[in-house]
Each structure stands twice: as structure tokens, then as C-alpha cells.
Structure 1
């Protein structure tokens, strides 16, 4: 084959598929600047630590720097809204928390919706738990519920935001038990932990991972996973205690909708590789958190199927005030 013929064939291939060359060129140029992972909670919380563990592993696979940016507020809405509005060029990514990703747009006129994003990957699942100070008079969940029945609205329950899994655990438990707690909102895990350790609140809803990683002076009464955790086998599930409540935080990574398919494909491939890295597994297990990888397309298909269930829950038990 002559050089001239090869040139003509290459030109013909480009004419046959005009979209391929620009897409490949765009992927080859990306990233052109640091990639930001926007976190909707304060530094030091579970979501923040997830992002900081993943960032250096993602850097090595995409060939560019990755930085974590914290934009706390409104249970994660501030950060997600900023990602939804960002230029869809692959340089702004966001962490997500379930169920807030679905519940925030249901409970209020939110600045984002699920379709504003493209899924890259779900990374972990972390069941929520009910925890008190180790010197609390409430030694069991039954003790805590008895106090709430005896003194409606007198027992405080803290969470990192309205519509979070930690808050919805309370909503469902109140509905199942006929109790009424006073819900107190903090911006992140460290503030929650400080409030409980300082005896400023009676109890808190917080995921089992961060509670287990910082268990000094804390007593976890129950957790809302489907089964007991291998990390904390002594902690009973709400289901085995007789309450049909299951709730966990799923934490993942998204890009703005409209991000070029070739860039999305590269990000998804990179994350598929990251979650198989022994360093990734070790980092998450060291924080008592189970990795749960789900590729972006399949993940978002499942999330769209869950939306109606949360709408039904909202109609039955609105959670914005409780």
C-alpha cells in the first residue's frame, strides 16, 4: 500500500464518521486543567474522606491533577447545584449521597434534579445508625423510644441534613413507633460528633462507618442495614428489633449532564479500575465502609426506578418538618 493510498483511505474514513475525530481529539486533550471533585459537606466527614481517598487514584488514571473542593450547605444541595450549573467539559465532578440526590428535589424547589447529571460510578454503601453518648441513660433503642413516647418532642435527634438517609431513618422510625423527636440539623459529621460528645443532643443519626471509626465515648444502639455489619456485629439492625426500616448512604461520583461521551467513558473506565485497586478497598475498609461499585449508566437506571418510591414516601410521610 502506498503512502498516497493510505492517506486517501484515512481521509475517507474521516468523512464516513465525522463525529469520531473531534470526540477523540477532545478526549486526548482532556484534562486540560485540574479536575475538581465538589463535596457538599465539611472536611472530615465520610463523603469528604471518600473523595480525598479517590482523588489520587483517579489522578494516576486520567493523567491530570484532581482536587477536592468543599461547598457545604442545605444537605448537599449547594454543591450539587454548582455541579449541575458547571460547564460540562469533564473538569467539574461532584460527590453524591443517596437518598438526598433524589429526595431533595422531591421535598422542595431544588436547584438541581437527577437529570442534570451523568453518573460516573457509585462507590460505597454505608448503613445509617442511631448513636448516643456512652454515658447516656439510653442503653438500648427500646430505652430511647420509651423516653420519646413519655416526653414527645423532648428528645433530640441530630442529623447532617433534611432528606438525608440519617434523617429519613428518623422519619420512618417515628412513623413505625408513634414517637416524636426534635430533629436538629448540622452541616457535617464532625459537628454531629462534637454535639453528641458534648451532650448537646440526646442522639444522632450518622452512618456506621464514621461512627465506628470514632467510637470512643459513643454507644451505637441500632443500625439500618439489611443485615448486621461485619465491622460491628454487636450492633442489631432495626429490622431484627421489629421495625421495617432499612436506610443507607450510597456515595458516588457524577458529572454535569452534557459532558462529552468520550470524556464520560474515560472517567467511567478510570473509576472501574480505581475500585479494583487494593489501595481503594483498604482505604474504605479502614474506615469501616464497604465498597459497592456500580457503573454510572446502570447506577442511574436504578436511581430513576427509585424516584417513585421516594415520592410515595413523601406523600405518606412528609419529612421536611420532622
Structure 2
């Protein structure tokens, strides 16, 4: 025979539990709706003063307006950007640590390293922001006055010309790898932790050639001269500098910079970040700031960007099979 008093107590307890859950859901939604409630950190895998750092700081400033919260840029240089990206991939997925990425390094580092600190599947993809073609530059008074002169000397004096990059697997380094294969020459690769130290080194003539992006050279003080650029067509910021293709080398290379977050970030936060980023790239003041840094807007929303990265991953894996670049 059922115990009606007991059943009533269980029913009331169930109703109370359902009511509490109903109250909790709006409270949780409200908390997420108030995100961000503290400063957001934006990690950059290179030292301050380079193109990636400048893009990150500009983005952060405009995102503060779009989100109504503060964003702090953290420079965590090392291992061609792998240290910062690894930290983002392992971070708590709450939206308070984001990362500014570089492609191709975002794709190539997991390919070239035996135990990479991150993989493409470790991230939520917010958006790609800009593109900045690679370039080969020399000191203004260098005896190497053109890309043809570089090739001639490199063939005459193999393994004597030094080439500085921002690290193995970066666009600067891969531009060297492709150039060496196309020109049939061999340069001495010297990696640096970022564009700032590399720019100092080329101005101080510690290296002969600097693999720097157009935005890192066009806005630099007098003392540098671009020999060749890596875009498919000439950049509006370096209209007098020939492309590799114009110089007879079938290659393109550049840095594409975007924003990622840890995997499993709440959908509400991902949506908020993507919407705010879309708002930023439509802001004429942001577009103007990007142009003053000699970089080109190349916005891709997260899902479209992720698909493009998958295609790039297949292409670089094929290149790795033919020519492993960690040895170049």
C-alpha cells in the first residue's frame, strides 16, 4: 500500500529541484551574457615590435570597444610561436586567454616537430584578420643590390650568405626553403625570436639577408631595402619591388594572422568573439590602422578560415614529404 505522505514529499522535492534548475539556468545565462567580467589576455608568440605584435595590439584596442571589457597583449616568444600556441591549446576554455596566430606556422609547426605542443584541432577558430607578404631585405648599402645579384653570389659562394628569419617553420623561413629549391642555391639560416631582433640584426649587418614581412620593412626606419616580395601580386605598400614570380621563381609566401581560443569554448562566448571581431574589421578606424602598419585586411570568419587551414595543411604535408624544411 503506497505511502501518500512519502510520495507527496518526493513530489515536492522534485518540484523544488526543477524550480531551482529553472532559476539556475537564467543565472548561468546572465553570467555568460556578462562575459567578459575580467581582462582577456591575448598571447603573441613573438617578441614585441614585430608585425604580429602590432596586429595584436591594434586588434586588442578595438576589441575592448566592441566587447566593453579590457584586453591585454602578452608576448610569449619562443620556438617560432609554439610556446604561446601550446599554452592556448592547454588553457581553460573560458574565453579569458586567446591567441594571435601566424599561418603558415600555425599549420607547419605540428608537421615538422615530433612532439608538437599543439595541433590544429586544439582550437576554436575566431577569425583571420590580415595578410602580410614575406620579403627579402638587405641593409641599404649592401653589395647585394637585387635578387639576381643574390642568386649570382650564392651560386659563386655557396653557404656563405646568412639569412635571418623569425624561426623554423615560419613564413620567413619557408620563403627561404622555397627560394633555395627554386634558385638552386644554399644560404645559411639564422633564426631569431621575432622581427624586432631580426631587424636590429640586419641593420647592424649581423646577417646579410632578412626574411621580414612587408609590413615590418615598409614602416621601418631608413636603412633597409627590399629585394623581392612574396605576394602573388605586388603589394600596394611596395609597388616598386618585384615579386618572386616576376623574378622567375614560382613561389608565393606570406604571413596570415588570426585569432584562436581553446577548444570547447562555450558556444555563447565563441559567438560573441566572432561577432565582435566582425564588428572590428568593419570599423573604418581599424582598417585605417591596419593600413598604417602596411598590412592588408584579409578577414575570414572562423569556419571558413578553418576550412582554408585544412587545405593548407594538406599542401604543407605534401611539401614536407618532398622537402623537410627543418633541415634547411
Larger radius of gyration: 2
Distance in 1, Cα, partners of 2:303 & 2:258: 12
Provide the residue aligned with 2:9 in structure 1.
none
- Provide structure 1 residue ranges, at least 5 long, that are not aligned to the other structure: 1-10
Residue of structure 2 equivalent to 1:160: 166
**Residue 93 of structure 2: SS of its match in structure 1?**
coil
Please report how far the alpha carbon of residue 189 of structure 1 lies from its aligned counterpart in structure 2 after TM superposition. 0.9
Count of residues paired in the alignment: 309
TM-score, normalised relative to structure 2: 0.91
> Residues 99-178 of structure 1 correspond to what in structure 2 (within 5 A)?
99-108=104-113, 109-178=115-184
1:102-141 Cα deviation digits (max 9, x unpaired): 0000000210001100111100000000000111111110
Task: Compute the displacement of 1:19 (Å).
Answer: 11
> Runs (4+) of structure 1 moved beyond 6 Å?
none
1:91 matched to 2:124: no
Tell me the alpha carbon deviations over residues 72-118 of structure 1, each in whole angstroms, 9 at most, x when there is no partner.
00000010011111100011000000000000000002100011001
Question: Can you list the C-alpha shifts for 1:272-291, whole angstroms capped at 9, x where unaligned?
Answer: 00001111111110111111
**Cα separation, 2, equivalents of 1:53 and 1:306:** 26
| Uncovered stretches (5+) of structure 2, i.e. residues with no partner | 1-17
Measured on the aligned residues, the alpha-carbon RMSD in Å equals 1.8
Conserved in 2, the CA contact under 8 Å of 1:23 and 1:260? no
| CA deviation string 1:149-201 (max 9, x = no partner) | 11111110000010001100000010111100000000111111111111111
Deviation track 1:12-35 (CA, whole Å, cap 9, x = no partner) reads 9x98xx998577334213112110
Secondary structure of the 2:326 match is coil
| Pair 1:279–1:254, CA change in 2 (3 A) | same
Map of 1:236 onto structure 2: 242
Residues 125-274 of structure 1 mapped to structure 2, 5 A cutoff: 125-274=131-280
Query: 2:321 maps to what in 1?
Result: 315
Equivalent in the alignment of 2:73: 68
Mapped pair 1:24 → 2:29? yes
TM-score (norm 1): 0.93
User: Partners in 2 of 1:233 and 1:22 — Cα distance?
Assistant: 56
Alignment equivalent of 2:299, drawn from 293, 300, 303: 293
Shift of 1:314: 0.6
